[in-house]
Amino acid sequence: MSIFGAIGIASTGLTVNRKWLDAISDNISNANDVTSTDQKAFRERYVVARSIGGDSGGVQVAGIELGDAEGRLVYEPQNPLADDEGYVRYPDIDMASQMTQLIMAQRGYQANAAVVDRAKSAYELALQIGR
């Protein structure tokens, strides 16, 4: 690992947490998207992270998984998208879970940003010793 390894590892964490925040914001913003019953509902996004092996360390986004397209049927006969029986399809997104994940992703991002800041300060102090 190089002398700047802490910044490199923390930056990978920043990237993964940013992607996680993006996925959560997509989920929250589309939680109330309504479609007709013959169409698929918005599919919730999940970020899959994996460890980077070897000497470099860190994490990376391994992919984005999609949730169930079935969604949930809601009886709304006044909705213009309703079928003959009065049902429409909404995504099956649990807002409580999304808010919990939002807090975890935000805290992870903040922690990695703090590591970058502290490592920068330590490197600056190390340079001062050489003067």
Predicted confidence pLDDT, tens digits, the chain (131 residues): 566 788 889 999 999 999 999 999 999 999 999 999 999 999 999 999 999 877 678 899 999 999 988 999 999 999 999 999 999 999 999 999 999 999 999 999 999 999 999 988 888 888 888 77
pLDDT of residue 2: 64
Cα angle 106-108-109, degrees, rounded to a multiple of 5: 65
| Residues 67/78, Cβ–Cβ less than 8 Å | no
Transcribe 82-101 into DSSP letters.
--TTSEEEE----HHHHHHH
- The DSSP bridge partners found for residue 98 are none
User: Whose structure tokens read 């009065």?
Assistant: 86
Where are the domains positioned within the chain? 5-129
The token pair at 90 is 């909404």
**CB proximity list for 85: less than 8 A, separation 6 or greater:** none
